[in-house]
Structure 1
Amino acid sequence: MNDPIVTPRWLLARMYEPGLVIADCRFNLADPEEGRGAYLRDHIPGAVYLHLDEDLSAPVREHGGRHPVPDPGLLAASLGRAGISRSSLVVAYDDQGGLYASRLWWLLQYLGHERAYVMDQGYSAWKAAGFPVTDHRPVTIPASYEPAPRPELLAEIGEIRTISAEGAASGAILIDSRANDRYRGENETMDKKAGHIPGAVNYFWKDTQHADGSYKSAEELNEHFSGLDKDREVIVYCGSGVSACPNALALKRIGFKKVRLYGGSWSDWISYEENPVATGEA
């Protein structure tokens, strides 16, 4: 199955199949314990909980952004504790439009794990459909996860500087996945500097979805990203490397082959005082 997005009904039909791991990735940046509390109240039966800060990010340092990409070995250890192995079929969900579920999806791609999916619409849609929920925490049998990292999916600061300076001549395009007012530098509530990386274009990650939180169809996504050349390298970034992941998911859904993530994103870029900052439209 090439489509990285599955429906709640698809998951309902398979939720007790051997080898399936359901990962609850609910999270709130303003209250890091809210997602875990929501999971403890109720979740999809059998789901394990993965925390953005503790499981899906490395510790914050001077550089690397607010949610650094974790070391492959440490990430593999977290996945193994959750009962995930390289042979697992992983379906992630959250209740924030796929924001955190797609972070797990991307990290699994980075580790060479192709059997990873995001459940469309999220947990509220699952409950609204009358599908089963529970407060029972499953007994998790630890697994051995053997990562096969794909460093080509990750862009580093030196490459971003070159692409920003060279523009189209670099052969790559930078996509800023944040809301347009943050991209333009008019409203910044998360980071110390406002604006965007010079040369980047803006595709807000939420514009890949309908008002009800469901992902747009392939036809709609092709229209949304019609200004991009599928043969060019695309590097997505956001504030900290999280909300760029739904864009990476959507681009993969419509056949973009050369999509990379700038893991540290804007919060890493501005940690280097010498890096230029652009404001306004591209």
Structure 2
Amino acid sequence: MKYIIEMDWLTTHLDDPNVRIIDCRFQLGSPQAGFNAYVEDHIRGALYFDLEKDLSSEVKEHGGRHPLPDVEELVSKLSAAGIDENVTVVAYDDQGGPFASRLWWLLAYLGHKKVYVLNGTYSGWKQKGYAVTDSIPEVASREFQSNIQSSLLIDREELMDKLTAESDKILLLDSREEKRYLGEEEPIDKVAGHIPTARHFFWKDSLTSDQKWKTVDDQLDRLTGMDKGNEMIVYCGSGVTACPNVLALKAAGFENVRLYLGSWSDWITYEDYTIKKG
């Protein structure tokens, strides 16, 4: 599937200077766990990017729990990681792809064309007996050039306008699990429910039972009834688990796909927010 790299391919490119592997493992509620796991062992040659320190900015009044990182800071970190336009980036995590997909989306937003998510988890990589190490690599820096693709992102103000004036032309997708979408349970945010008109579209449904990505045909079956002519706007709790859905939609041929990065945790920080339950 487009944007997905197979483990077998990566095993033959571990020493390729134009391939950079990024470990994105993270545990919500235990922010140090991902880095600790990386230090213990990781795919040979991988560098670590942290969801909250590298792939998000500081939490403020608005912007959600994982706001868009400062572009200049992220570009600097990517340059230090030895990434330029010639480098193919492969991201992985151990939860089926939400954090790796967040890096994939951010690099796509910055205009980087060679970025992929590993098909499968880090645990799956180890089970196959592929190369792991506790050695942290040293890489030569390169100059990352950003070319912001602003059309991939939508903020709350524009979303509000579209829900008012163009609701028949957009399809709003909520990527959270069903209980949170229905408002029956909300373990993280202060308000339960979903954005009015949103359709439930659980991100894990893009994966097989062994946490690999479904084929394009299977993704298209999942997308039955969705019009490729519509503008697709995807959100979740904080702009992380929406990213696998963005990837799945783009891979299945939906071109006009945008991320509401602040997502539900941003939506409910405004006095005029509206919600729906059930």
Q: TM-score band, normalised by the shorter chain? A: over 0.9
* Letter matched to residue 234 of structure 1: M
1:270 is aligned to 2:268: yes
CA distance in 1, matches of 2:221, 2:236: 22
Give the CA deviation at 1:140: 2.4
Q: Which residue of 2 aligns with 1:137?
A: 136
CA distance in 2, matches of 1:28, 1:222: 30
SS in 2 for 1:173: strand
Deviates more, 1:204-213 or 1:11-20: 11-20
Give the CA deviation at 1:59: 0.9
Q: Which residue of 1 aligns with 2:84?
A: 85
Give the CA deviation at 1:142: 2.2
CA distance in 1, matches of 2:132, 2:244: 25
CA distance in 2, matches of 1:270, 1:73: 28
The C-alpha deviation readout for 1:174-205, integer Å capped at 9, x for no partner, is 10000011000011011010000001101000
SS in 1 for 2:259: strand
- Where does structure 1 lack aligned partners over 5 or more consecutive residues? none
Give the CA deviation at 1:166: 4.2
SS in 2 for 1:220: helix
Q: Which residue of 2 aligns with 1:6?
A: 5
1:207 is aligned to 2:201: no
* Letter matched to residue 193 of structure 2: G
* Letter matched to residue 2 of structure 2: D
CA distance in 2, matches of 1:141, 1:18: 10
| Paired residues of 1:48 and 1:138 also in contact (CA < 8 A) | yes
CA distance in 2, matches of 1:79, 1:192: 34
| Paired residues of 1:98 and 1:118 also in contact (CA < 8 A) | yes
* Letter matched to residue 84 of structure 2: S
- Where does structure 2 lack aligned partners over 5 or more consecutive residues? none
CA distance in 2, matches of 1:163, 1:186: 27
CA distance in 1, matches of 2:30, 2:14: 29
Give the CA deviation at 1:103: 0.3
The runs of 4+ residues in structure 1 deviating greater than 6 Å are none
Give the CA deviation at 1:165: 3.1
SS in 2 for 1:14: coil
CA distance in 2, matches of 1:36, 1:3: 28
CA distance in 2, matches of 1:101, 1:74: 19
Normalising by structure 1, report the TM-score.
0.96
1:1-282 to structure 2, matched below 5 A, reads 3-166=2-165, 168-169=167-168, 171-280=169-278
Identity %: 48
Count of residue pairs brought into register by the alignment: 278
The C-alpha deviation readout for 1:229-281, integer Å capped at 9, x for no partner, is 1121101000000000000111111111001100100000000021101111x
CA distance in 2, matches of 1:55, 1:81: 12
CA distance in 2, matches of 1:175, 1:191: 18
| Paired residues of 1:50 and 1:56 also in contact (CA < 8 A) | yes
Cα root mean square deviation, aligned? 1.1
Give the CA deviation at 1:227: 2.0
The C-alpha deviation readout for 1:39-92, integer Å capped at 9, x for no partner, is 000000000000001110011110000001113222111211222223210000
CA distance in 1, matches of 2:274, 2:166: 14
Deviates more, 1:240-249 or 1:226-235: 226-235
CA distance in 2, matches of 1:121, 1:175: 24
SS in 1 for 2:234: strand
SS in 2 for 1:69: coil
* Letter matched to residue 30 of structure 1: G
* Letter matched to residue 272 of structure 1: Y
The C-alpha deviation readout for 1:83-116, integer Å capped at 9, x for no partner, is 2223210000000100100000000000001100
Give the CA deviation at 1:167: 6.0
Give the CA deviation at 1:159: 1.5
* Letter matched to residue 91 of structure 2: A
* Letter matched to residue 190 of structure 2: K
CA distance in 2, matches of 1:245, 1:160: 17
CA distance in 2, matches of 1:141, 1:191: 41
CA distance in 2, matches of 1:246, 1:252: 10
CA distance in 2, matches of 1:194, 1:181: 9
